[in-house]
Amino acid sequence: MIKLIVGLGNPGRQYEKTRHNAGFLFLDTLLADYGGSWQFEGKFQGHLAECAIAYHKLLLLKPETFMNRSGQAVGKVARYYKIQPEEILVVHDELDFDAGVVKLKKGGGHAGHNGLRDIIAHLGSNDFYRLRIGIGRPAVGKVVADYVLSEPSKADWLLLEGGFGLAKPYIGPIVSGQTEAAMNKLNT
């Protein structure tokens, strides 16, 4: 079962609605649906919230360490609450999927995603679940960093919101341990 859902993103108003903040944005929609509020916890270097999904209490985390240091906050929360890597779901942006495409997987490498790279380093494991939210790739010749740190077009924003809506019904089964069934349905 999942005990911690982590949304990846960058803190600050200038990053709020950027592609790279898909994880933060998704967690905000979950919290709006399930109730609860964000509280900054300095010892964890992030915003934490508690909520119940599918009758399971769990924590939501938005690291405030910037994307490339996300593992610092995730590692601190995991150690403090004695949460194992396989009990963590990380929600993040995915360049390799078109905007709005959402897929679930467990384990694997970081595929160049610096937030995932840092989480793997701080947990000492890659054995956590990932909810990958497609943001698409920049046009050939465009700088990836500029692309992920920019706001999506209105059309892409609607696709991202559609992806959030597609993924939300699967969060209950994922949290309650039905990850294989959720993965099979969500990934087809």
Q: How far is CA 65 from the centre of its chain?
A: 14
Structure tokens at 75: 């590692």
Catalytic residue from among 20, 92, 113, 122: 20
Which residue shows structure tokens 């701080």? 122
Calculate the CA dihedral of residues 157, 186, 149, 9 and round it to 10 degrees.
120
Structure tokens at 156: 């892409």
Question: How far apart (Å, rounded) are the C-alpha atoms in residues 67 and 8?
Answer: 6
DSSP state of 37: -
Hey, what amino acid is at 96? D
Q: Is 20 a catalytic residue?
A: yes
The alpha helices in the chain, defined as continuous H runs, are: 22-34, 70-81, 114-123, 144-148, 154-175, 179-186
Catalytic residues: 20
